[in-house]
Structure 1
Amino acid sequence: MRRIPVILLLSLLAAPLGAETLTISPVTLTEWKAIYGQVDTRDRVPARARIGGTVDTLSITEGDRVEAGQPLAVITDDKLQFQIDALNSRLDALNSQLATARADMERGRQLLDRGVITTQRFDALQTQVDVLEGEIAGTRSEKLVVERQIEEGRVLAPEAGIVLDVPVSRGSVITPGEAVAEIGGGGVFMRIAVPERFSAALSEGDTIQIEAGDGLREGRLAKLYPLITGGRLQADIEVEGLDARFIGRRVPVRLPVGERQALLVPQSAVSQTGGLDFVMIEDNGAALRHVVVLGQDIMRDGTLWREVLSGLAPGDIVVTGNE
């Protein structure tokens, strides 16, 4: 007696009457490239010291939120205070000389009125007063410059953001222009570095998928930077509700880098027997079970679909379920 293979026997089983059907045709699927993105701030601005000296006060630490113009540290230089003391002493001496010169000029005016001294002598006394007044004005300007330098010892936040790094400590000696802190501002983004071979496939506004702890989330490609460095293109992704507690955290990201044609069937049309996947198709009024090779799962409009790699062809009528 001839034996019929099990697979062939299964393929001859008829579908129930009144079953729902679906004519399959190729659909366009997005090709995704998996890379890692990094949570980052758009701007990283150093808060620099404008004078050299010793860090006398440090009021921030990593992770603090700061506002633009907020004092971060105070730098002191004892030499500046010594200059202020020296200028104050010089002003005192000049003011004393000016008082004497003005008294001499007043007596000279009286003597000039009586004809005791000449006009030339009186002009010399007046010139001496003018010279001393000029020296006092110049010394006061020098004092204002030094006082301004002392004020510049206050290091202010260049913009609002989060303190990412504080490379100095209280008592550190720093030079003019040295960074006291690094401020991350301009908002928090997902920053990625894309291999340059995929750069032509990306454009601002593309939808990006982020693998968060609660499943896939979508973001928007906000900015493509024009400079390619080390074979990689830098880009920023806007993600609503992005966790900004940890700057620099790496997160899996999927980028749309192309499109392809594929055949899809709903999950309800797939059955499994003996480790093989089957899809029932309608052929000339009869329902036959075909062995198929399935690919990835695709979610479309909240329904799970399966990609069919082989076993079906465009135009096949697939039995998806019973009425």
Structure 2
Amino acid sequence: MNSVLPCRLATLRVAATLVSLFSLAACSAPEAEKTKPPRPAIVVHPTAAGSQLAVYPGEVHARHEPALAFRVGGAVTRRLVEEGDRVKQGQPLAELDAQDLQLQRDAARAQLEAAKTENRNASNELTRYRGLLERKLIGESQFDAVKTRYDSSVAQLERARAQWKVADNQAQYAVLKAPADGVITRRNIDAGQVISAGQTVFVMAADGEREVRIDLPEQEMPRFAVGQPVTIEMWSQPGTPIDGQVRELSPAAEAGLRTFEARVAFSADDPGTATKPQLGQSARVYARTAQTSDSRPAQRLPMSSITADGVDAHVWRMDPDNFTLHKVAVTVSSYGHEYAEVLSSLRPEDWVLAAGTQLVREGQRVRPVDRQNRPIESDDRLAQSL
């Protein structure tokens, strides 16, 4: 009995020692985490956007691009042109089956001939009755009845003539003709297809003025106005700026894209337009955009500094007191090649994470450096801490 007791006491002392060691290890883990050197992070100051040069890709279009359609419905019997074909004014483009239209014209023609015959008979009878009235062989009422019949025949003749004209026009509408010289840019029909009146069958780019079409995001629409000067550069002629101006701004956004179409016209007196731009050529439009009317200041940040949770964009701002990162919501108003313009509550003296935004978390401590990996020492507290 006496030999067992010392063994139990020794076992308890060993267990107590192990518990103490585990407790010390558990307490030292957070301390080690806290003393772990913070990861380096490139930070930048936001800069005031103000007026800047924005670039928009575009494509050369014709000033006038009519959508061509038949004025009557029917089955397409012949398609006479293809996309890319040049056409002349009055040239036939497609034909419909005109058999029914021709029958209607023949029927209208027959009605017109019948109306002419009726009018001729009524005119002869009116002449005969006028002579009888002068000789007092008939009464006034009989003459008035004949006069009424004649007037009715005149009205019927005019109506029949108008109906025949409509039927004749409709028979001619079975052939679709080019309204002007130009190029067919789109074809929507094929032989044998049944179409309705007014359905677009071709789109034609008329010869004449050319312009560049660009698409503007919704948030940038307030920055543009009709008549605003811009600069155009053709992809095929880099370094050759051409003066232009905004000619038209769409009042409604395109379905699905939620962008607004803008038409940019070439200046007629610009020497850069000596070589006429060709349809479909790619171009860039440079526009000097001004500060928006939003109460928040517009600022420029590197594209790499902006990230998003779903549709909500944000950046990481560094707290200069403890060098931790915190999310700040931003609204992106425009994108550039390297920089984006944002609206936010950021101040010019704030430090914003410029790279690695997907690798950090809320409250993470960092060691700020510049793009050459040099410690930032503009703040005395920052320099002393590092």
Give TM-score scaled by structure 2 length.
0.45
Q: 2:192, 2:96 → 1: CA distance? A: 9
Q: Which moved more, 1:90-99 or 1:163-172?
A: 90-99
Q: Which moved more, 1:132-141 or 1:122-131?
A: 122-131
Identity across the alignment (%): 23
Report if the CA contact (8 A) 1:35-1:254 is conserved: yes
How far the C-alpha of 1:46 sits from its partner, in A, is 0.4
Matched, 1:38 2:59: yes
Report if the CA contact (8 A) 2:245-2:265 is conserved: yes
Q: Equivalent residue of 2:209, what SS?
A: strand
How far the C-alpha of 1:233 sits from its partner, in A, is 7.0
Structure 1 match to 2:193: 172
Q: Equivalent residue of 1:81, what SS?
A: helix
Structure 2 match to 1:19: none
User: Aligned partner of 1:236: which letter?
Assistant: V
Q: 1:220 aligns with which of 232, 243, 251?
A: 243
Are the structure 2 counterparts of residues 81 and 233 from structure 1 closer, same or farther at C-alpha, using a change threshold of 3 Å?
A: closer
Q: 1:255, 1:168 → 2: CA distance? A: 38
Q: Deviations over 1:61-104 (max 9, x none)?
A: 21123455554334454333223322333344444445555565
> Over aligned residue pairs, what C-alpha RMSD do you find?
4.4
Structure 2 match to 1:135: 156
Report if the CA contact (8 A) 2:233-2:239 is conserved: yes
Report if the CA contact (8 A) 2:74-2:194 is conserved: yes
User: Aligned partner of 1:187: which letter?
Assistant: E
User: Aligned partner of 1:136: which letter?
Assistant: L
Matched, 1:236 2:264: yes
Q: 1:167, 1:182 → 2: CA distance? A: 9
Q: What are structure 2's unaligned runs of at least 5 residues? A: 1-50, 267-271, 290-370, 373-386
Q: Deviations over 1:115-149 (max 9, x none)?
A: 76555444434443443333223222221222233
How far the C-alpha of 1:167 sits from its partner, in A, is 0.9
Q: 1:52 aligns with which of 62, 67, 73?
A: 73
Structure 2 match to 1:13: none
Structure 1 match to 2:205: 184
User: Aligned partner of 1:52: which letter?
Assistant: G
Q: 2:159, 2:224 → 1: CA distance? A: 66
Q: 2:117, 2:77 → 1: CA distance? A: 37
Q: 1:47, 1:56 → 2: CA distance? A: 17
Report if the CA contact (8 A) 1:34-1:255 is conserved: yes
Structure 2 match to 1:84: 105
Report if the CA contact (8 A) 1:201-1:257 is conserved: no
Q: Equivalent residue of 1:176, what SS?
A: coil
Q: Equivalent residue of 1:162, what SS?
A: strand
Structure 1 match to 2:165: 144
User: Aligned partner of 2:202: which letter?
Assistant: A
Instruction: Spell out the pairing of 1:1-323 with structure 2 (5 A cutoff).
Output: 36-67=57-88, 70-98=91-119, 100-101=121-122, 118-185=139-206, 187-193=209-215, 200=223, 204-212=228-236, 216-223=239-246, 225-227=248-250, 229=253, 230=258, 234=262, 236=264, 238=266, 240=273, 241=275, 244=278, 247=280, 249-250=281-282, 253=284, 255=286
How far the C-alpha of 1:178 sits from its partner, in A, is 1.0
Report if the CA contact (8 A) 1:54-1:174 is conserved: yes
Q: Deviations over 1:133-177 (max 9, x none)?
A: 332232222212222333344434345432101211344322111
Q: 1:182, 1:227 → 2: CA distance? A: 20
Q: 1:155, 1:174 → 2: CA distance? A: 13
Report if the CA contact (8 A) 2:188-2:202 is conserved: yes
Q: 1:53, 1:74 → 2: CA distance? A: 9
Q: Equivalent residue of 2:61, what SS?
A: strand
* Higher relative contact order structure (alpha carbons within 8 Å, sequence separation ≥ 6): 1
Are the structure 2 counterparts of residues 201 and 236 from structure 1 closer, same or farther at C-alpha, using a change threshold of 3 Å?
A: closer
Query: How many residue pairs were aligned?
Result: 227
User: Aligned partner of 1:80: which letter?
Assistant: L
Flag the structure with higher helix content: 2
User: Aligned partner of 2:264: which letter?
Assistant: D
Q: Equivalent residue of 1:177, what SS?
A: coil
User: Aligned partner of 1:222: which letter?
Assistant: Q
Are the structure 2 counterparts of residues 61 and 97 from structure 1 closer, same or farther at C-alpha, using a change threshold of 3 Å?
A: same
Q: Equivalent residue of 2:65, what SS?
A: strand
